């Protein structure tokens, strides 16, 4: 599928004005504010930002896995025409694994240490009505697809008998065994060394292309985003502040926060240039300012930035950015 085919296809996942808050007697504390994002078949989309920006919460909201008192407070999440916000537990359980699946950051805490890995994958398949015999066959096939050696033998192993990279491949196999249309991945390569990380990214990209799978990949690592995702959404303080083609954002960022993140990435050319730093810290949930949440840390901020909140607007480069100051007017 070409890039044009991807961008013209109907979204597998459509997030519209999604808001998430922490409910209490005193009111609702905003955590995520008005997030909108589309993911189409055959597309790999990245979600990046500092810790606490709302990336993982967005994923959990899509999966319907938010734990009270945190809840969706506004907006919609549509998966192939099915509205997930407000859907019943029965509907969500039917969709998880068969239509949408998730890979978590730490496979050691996601896998049951007392159960063989093959049993854990098969259990998810049987929950969707697959017979025991077919579930066993599909489990071995899934382990083979993620290039684990001797998958029939490995299915009888316990998680502690596998390396970190092998456990993460098991998690990917478990997520893909039900043949979902959408894969959500919450920093699944963070705990792996660089060599294994590259192998996992290459593996997921190969499977994604073969299946025409839609992927939403959460990461704080811009290097991972650069080599893996086709489109990028940058989150800050619960909002998407920039979104567009990865190459366009990396070559010509349109939001000062994105530019500051890129400036803090070590050079790959061997030059020992000083890394950029972002002063201060993000605002606490419930204390978001009236204007742009990044204004207090931004070298480009104008007086109006503290009074009004900018919205995402299209830029000539094909990127959307929520900033009043165009890059041509940025101060050095």
CA distance 150 to 118: 12
Count of alpha carbons within 13 angstroms of residue 160, beta-carbon side: 4
Q: Judge whether 94 and 128 are in contact, CB under 8 Å.
A: yes
Cβ atoms within 10 Å of 81's Cβ, excluding its own? 8
State whether 136 and 167 are in the same domain.
yes
**Considering 128, 156, 179, which residue would you say is the last residue of a domain?**
179
CA distance 145 to 136: 14
State whether 157 and 237 are in the same domain.
no
Strand 182-186, strand 100-103: pairing: parallel
N-to-C CA span, the chain: 41
State whether 211 and 294 are in the same domain.
yes
Quick one: pLDDT band at residue 1, thresholds 50, 70, 90? Answer: very low
Burial label for 167, CB within 10 Å (0-12, 13-18, 19+), is buried
Contacts of 322 (CB under 8 A, 6+ apart): 239, 240, 241, 242, 255, 292, 309, 310, 311, 312, 313
What is the predicted pLDDT for the residue at 276?
73
**Position of tokens 């808001």?**
19
CA distance 121 to 59: 21
State whether 321 and 200 are in the same domain.
yes
CA-based torsion, 276, 277, 279, 282: positive or negative = positive
State whether 93 and 112 are in the same domain.
no
The total number of structural domains in the chain stands at 2
User: How far does Cα 45 stand from its chain's mean position?
Assistant: 7
CA distance 130 to 147: 23
**Considering 179, 214, 231, which residue would you say is the last residue of a domain?**
179
Mean pLDDT, residues 158-187 taken together: 94
State whether 222 and 323 are in the same domain.
yes
- Taking every pair of C-alpha atoms in the chain, what is the biggest distance, in angstroms? 67
State whether 84 and 161 are in the same domain.
no
pLDDT tens-digit series, residues 124-168 = 999 999 999 999 999 999 999 999 999 999 999 999 999 989 999
Q: What is the CATH number of the domain that holds 220?
A: 3.40.50.300
State whether 316 and 194 are in the same domain.
yes
* Range of the structural domain that residue 159 is part of: 108-179
State whether 257 and 120 are in the same domain.
no
pTM of the model: 0.91
State whether 175 and 191 are in the same domain.
no
- Would you say residue 295 has pLDDT above 70? yes
**Considering 164, 179, 194, which residue would you say is the last residue of a domain?**
179
What is the predicted pLDDT for the residue at 297?
95
């Amino acid at each position: 599928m070409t890039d044009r085919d991807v961008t013209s296809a109907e979204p597998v996942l459509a997030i519209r004005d999604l808001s998430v808050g922490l409910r209490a007697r005193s009111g609702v504390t905003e955590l995520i504010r008005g997030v909108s994002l589309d993911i189409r078949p055959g597309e790999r989309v990245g979600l990046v930002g500092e810790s606490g920006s709302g990336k993982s919460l967005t994923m959990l909201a899509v999966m319907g896995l938010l734990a009270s008192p945190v809840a969706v407070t506004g907006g919609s999440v549509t998966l192939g025409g099915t509205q997930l916000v407000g859907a019943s537990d029965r509907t969500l359980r039917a969709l998880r694994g068969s239509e949408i699946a998730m890979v978590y950051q730490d496979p050691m805490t996601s896998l049951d240490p007392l159960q063989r890995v093959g049993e854990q994958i098969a259990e998810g398949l049987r929950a969707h009505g697959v017979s025991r015999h077919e579930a066993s066959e599909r489990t071995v096939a899934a382990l083979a697809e993620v290039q684990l050696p001797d998958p029939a033998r490995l299915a009888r192993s316990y998680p502690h008998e596998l390396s970190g990279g092998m456990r993460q491949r098991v998690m990917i196999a478990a997520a893909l065994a039900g043949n979902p249309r959408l894969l959500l991945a919450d920093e699944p390569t963070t705990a792996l060394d660089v060599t294994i990380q590259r192998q996992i990214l290459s593996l997921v990209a190969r499977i994604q292309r073969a299946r025409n799978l839609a992927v939403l990949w959460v990461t704080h690592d811009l290097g991972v985003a650069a080599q893996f995702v086709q489109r990028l959404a940058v989150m800050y303080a619960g909002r998407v502040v920039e979104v567009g083609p990865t190459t366009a954002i990396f070559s010509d960022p349109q939001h000062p926060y994105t530019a500051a993140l890129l400036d803090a990435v070590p050079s790959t050319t061997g030059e020992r240039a000083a890394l950029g730093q972002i002063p201060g810290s993000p605002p606490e949930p419930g204390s978001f300012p009236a204007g742009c949440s990044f204004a207090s840390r931004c070298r480009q901020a104008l007086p109006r930035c503290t009074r009004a909140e900018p919205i995402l607007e299209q830029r000539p480069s094909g990127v959307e950015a929520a900033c009043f100051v165009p890059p041509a007017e940025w101060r050095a």
